Amino acid sequence: MHLKSAALALLAAVAATTVQAGETAPADASAATRAANAVLLDRLPFADKRDFEDAARGFLGSVPGGEIRAADGRVLWSQQQFDFLKDETAPATVNPSLWRQARLNTIHGLFKVTDRVYQVRGLDVANMTIVEGDTGLIVIDALTIPEAAKAGLELYYAHRPRKPVVAVIYTHAHADHFGGVRGLISDADVAAGRAVVIAPDGFMAHATAENVLAGNAMSRRAQYQFGPLLPPGERGLVDTGLGKTVSRGAPGLIAPTDVITRPIDTRRVDGVDIEFQLAPGSESPAEMHLYFPQFRVLDMAENATRTMHNLYTLRGAEVRDGSAWSRYLGEALQRYGDRTDVLIAQHHWPTFDPALARELLANQRDLYKYTNDQALRLANQGLKPADISAALKPPPGLEQDWATHGYYGTLSHNAKAVYQKYLGWYDANPANLDPLPTVEQAKKTIAYMGGAKAVLKRAREDYARGEYRWVAQVTSQLVFADPTDRAARELGAAALEQLGYQSESAIWRNAYLTGAQELRQGAPKAAGITTLSADVLKGVDLPTFFDFLGVRLNGERAAGKRLVMNWTFADRNETYVLNLEHAALTWLKTAPDPRADVTLTLDRPTLDAVTLKQLTLPQALASGRVKVQGDPRRLTEFLGLLDDFSPTFPIIEPPAAP
């Protein structure tokens, strides 16, 4: 995932908010929405039940209610909240194609894939695959939190012999695939050689750095993508496309002991032969596929699942390379296709028919290449990003393949991602080179259109005609021009809501419905998704830490300031010299600067404790864990130049002035 990052933005959700007195509750589907959704019933092959058969095949059992609790009794994961999906018929408020996908993702428990290969599915947003070695277990991906991984392992033990975990394999650098590792093994297991951790090249850097520098923005945006504040239900959260939702809790991380660096590499792990195919720059910057020749099982990680994935994730991240992604799938098909009896992935359900497995790989290969190439074809004809998205239709011949539908990524926003990757944000129209800031532009636009009352009147007429995309756009201008305009907020919320009800993409639905919720209720009072845990922070290298200090530096307050600081880490025998000048913070790993204004001596565990607010800087100074030479007031002055970021900044209305 994303948190596919996910990325770590795929982390804990908070309890759903309730509608307060005086607020408008979610509405029913309009006539236009009902008509749009009804069209799909005749166009798509709903009579084909093979996916439901494959998703249920090999079922051995599950945890009661699909529920996982913390030691203190808090519910961290529950499938019960999605019991409303038991009805096969989609309500008018949910796209019927998405309803089908959401129902498939409720099938949860332990499943036998083939002899010695099992999967835990539906106890988190991702899957945990368990391969039986000669003496122990090889676990592929550890879910998001330790409690989920432990529950999955105990479920396995309820049906299979209790053998130790001797290897954990991370397929890629998103938290829903590594965060639960401490529910499987410990640092002591690794130190004693009882367990190994295998990961693709670049794993640690990408598992941590991506979620630090822009982590606060990613976390806030992830609330829109995953919908943790939406109440589950026919008018709220139904799915994320890749799975139900994200488990609540803190992820862990144990560093790899064995890194796969060759494009094709092999290992024998506890008597099991594994062939690794690196796929960097695909769904994750660090990702790999796994082939098990003894079992004729191919695991495609998150690169060939039952959805069109993201070339650009709505929470925000670097754009992924659709052409490279397609090439990796083609290479996997060529190398393993004729040797594969069962195709699995770390989301969704297996493909048990070898011919259908090859077909799925080929269709996914063509899906990403089509998106990449056709978007570029239209860009080379001069079309702008929005026009490219409007012009592109699904690849010919693939619409009847459910796995190519956009339950997570979409053809629309992936096409824009291709444009961004190759051409960037600027569409070459000079009128868009230096546009007015958002609020000023909104005020001018509304004034040109005859004022708020006139705009609102016409917007209501367009809403009645079912023109929800335009109504959402124009009411957004009204709200940015005047955030107190209640009528504009309500109409905008109503339009977003209908767009959500029509969306086949779960994350589009979540974004639309979260936007509607915040137009009605305002931004949340507390953060619902976090990006850092103690384990993850330990994996952040010091260069990234100092870069993040630069990100937090308030340029206006730092104007005219000059400062040189030595940060010496005694446990590593390393010094970083920080230089503040021209409102820019730069650093070098070098010998201490004798002219420094301040020298700090500490160790990395102390830095982590202060960063996690487990220890205050005054406490660290008083205890001697941090020693300061020079003028300590300069350190205090520097810390006063750093911004603290709000995890609940507004999105559907103007943020506070920086």
Question: Taking the CB of residue 295, how many other CB atoms lie within 10 A of it?
Answer: 19
pLDDT of residue 16: 33
Of the candidate ranges 182-191, 382-391, 551-560, 608-617, the one whose mean pLDDT is the lowest:
608-617
Let me know whether 517 and 542 are in one domain. Answer: no
Asked if residue 88 is part of any domain, the answer here is yes
DSSP output for 545-556 = HHHHHHHHB-HH
CB 103 within 8 A of CB 243: no
pLDDT of residue 14: 33
Asked if residue 656 is part of any domain, the answer here is no
Asked if residue 239 is part of any domain, the answer here is yes
β-pairing, 196-200 vs 165-169, is parallel
CB 76 within 8 A of CB 70: yes
Q: pLDDT, tens digit, for every residue of 268-307? A: 999 999 999 999 999 999 999 999 999 999 999 999 999 9
Let me know whether 85 and 153 are in one domain. Answer: yes
Residue type, 375: A
User: Rounded to whole angstroms, how far apart are CA atoms 410 and 97?
Assistant: 14
- Domain enclosing residue 138, as ranges: 46-422
Let me know whether 494 and 359 are in one domain. Answer: no
What kind and span of H or E run contains 634?
Answer: helix 632-639
Total domains, the chain: 3
Token reading at 3: 């948190």
Q: Nearest 5°: phi and psi at 260? A: -80, 120
Q: Is the pLDDT score of 188 beyond 50?
A: yes
Asked if residue 526 is part of any domain, the answer here is no
The band of 537, judged by pLDDT with boundaries at 50, 70 and 90, is confident
CATH no. for residue 588?
3.30.1050.10
Q: pLDDT, tens digit, for every residue of 491-527? A: 999 999 999 999 999 999 999 999 999 999 999 987 7
Q: pLDDT, tens digit, for every residue of 542-556? A: 999 999 999 999 999
CATH no. for residue 121?
3.60.15.30
pLDDT of residue 211: 75
Q: pLDDT, tens digit, for every residue of 208-236? A: 877 789 999 999 999 999 999 999 999 99
User: Rounded to whole angstroms, how far apart are CA atoms 215 and 548?
Assistant: 10
The two counts, helices (H) then strands (E), for the chain are 23, 20
Let me know whether 344 and 206 are in one domain. Answer: yes
Torsion angle of alpha carbons 625, 631, 632, 638, nearest 10°?
A: -120
Q: Is the pLDDT score of 7 beyond 50?
A: no
Token reading at 512: 């639309």
Question: Pick from 521, 552, 567: which residue ends a domain?
Answer: 521
Q: pLDDT, tens digit, for every residue of 87-141? A: 999 999 999 999 999 999 999 999 999 999 999 999 999 999 999 999 999 999 9
Share of the chain above pLDDT 90, in %: 90
Asked if residue 30 is part of any domain, the answer here is no
Q: pLDDT, tens digit, for every residue of 192-212? A: 999 999 999 999 999 987 778
DSSP state, residue 447: H
Let me know whether 489 and 541 are in one domain. Answer: no
Alpha helices in 381-467 (DSSP H): 385-391, 411-423, 438-448, 452-464
Let me know whether 458 and 359 are in one domain. Answer: no
pLDDT of residue 613: 86
Let me know whether 205 and 59 are in one domain. Answer: yes
Mean pLDDT score across all residues of the chain: 94
Asked if residue 650 is part of any domain, the answer here is no
How distant is the alpha carbon of residue 390 from its chain centre?
Answer: 25
Let me know whether 494 and 542 are in one domain. Answer: no
β-pairing, 598-602 vs 109-114, is unpaired
Asked if residue 468 is part of any domain, the answer here is yes
pLDDT of residue 528: 64
Let me know whether 332 and 450 are in one domain. Answer: no
Burial of 514 (0-12, 13-18, 19+ CB in 10 A): buried
Average pLDDT over residues 375-389: 98
CATH no. for residue 504?
1.25.40.880
Let me know whether 509 and 407 are in one domain. Answer: no
Let me know whether 620 and 501 are in one domain. Answer: no
Question: Pick from 521, 552, 573: which residue ends a domain?
Answer: 521
| Three-class secondary structure assignment of 49-67 | CHHHHHHHCCEEECCHHHE
pLDDT of residue 390: 98
Q: Is the pLDDT score of 24 beyond 50?
A: yes
Token look-up 């397929």 returns 171
Asked if residue 388 is part of any domain, the answer here is yes
The reported pTM is 0.95
Residue of 442, 426, 337 lying closest to 385 (CA atoms): 426
Let me know whether 315 and 283 are in one domain. Answer: yes
